[in-house]
Amino acid sequence: GAGVSQSPSNKVTEKGKDVELRCDPISGHTALYWYRQSLGQGLEFLIYFQGNSAPDKSGLPSDRFSAERTGGSVSTLTIQRTQQEDSAVYLCASSLELDWGRNSPLHFGNGTRLTVT
Amino acid sequence: AQRVTQPEKLLSVFKGAPVELKCNYSYSGSPELFWYVQYSRQRLQLLLRHISRESIKGFTADLNKGETSFHLKKPFAQEEDSAMYYCALSKNSGGSNYKLTFGKGTLLTVNP
């Protein structure tokens, strides 16, 4: 079956512009994560959606970052007024909730490489 | 708060040598630990999890609660093991707050 799909795969934007990154999780996966991967910083947690619970937004670096998950499926990460330090690979992952509220391992997408010029 | 520390950003070994990638964690409860791997031009993927107590591609990792460590080991490294390795932790207390926290990763290079 299809894995986690992210689009676009590459995005180059000018400083100050807004960007939208999309994630299609694996069908039936209730948990969805956004991470940012950059050299020297490793894998940085951004936001986590789990079923109908309120999302955990504790990793968003500033109020320029926001994310939505519509209908418990597709998610969009929006970065407003992009800055050069936002340049990174943005990874989406999903997982299936097992019994007792635990999740199965994460399935990652290929990521969106964002370059802010 | 939960935290994962991978003290080595880079690790280089020769083919056939033993390799150990270090991971230490900080969490007051009962954690669940994982190792994820990303090979060149591939997706990040699960390598192994401590509750499975399995060996994958010759790698093993033992959870040491006394030392709060979950080091990844392989007795004889192969060139194809060259990749970025991430240690990760999640709470193991049920409920809906299951957030996976990753370390900063270790780039392993196995030289011929």
Query: Percent of chain A at pLDDT above 90?
Result: 66
Q: Residue A108 is nearest to which of B44, B97, B104, comparing CB atoms?
A: B44
String of DSSP letters for B50-89:
GGG---BTTBEE--BTTTTB--EEESS--GGG-EEEEEEE
pLDDT of residue B93: 54
pLDDT category at B4 given cuts 50, 70, 90 is very high
Interface residue A6 vs chain B (CB under 8 A): no
Q: Do A50 and B101 touch (CB under 8 A)?
A: no
| pLDDT over 90 (residue A95) | no
Tokens linked to B52:
């499975």
Give me the amino acid identity at A104: S
**Chain A residue closest in CA terms to B35:** A105
pLDDT, tens only, A45-69: 899 898 888 898 989 999 999 999 9
What distance lies between CA A1 and its chain's CA centroid?
21
Minimum mean pLDDT range among A38-42, B12-16, B47-51, B97-101: B97-101
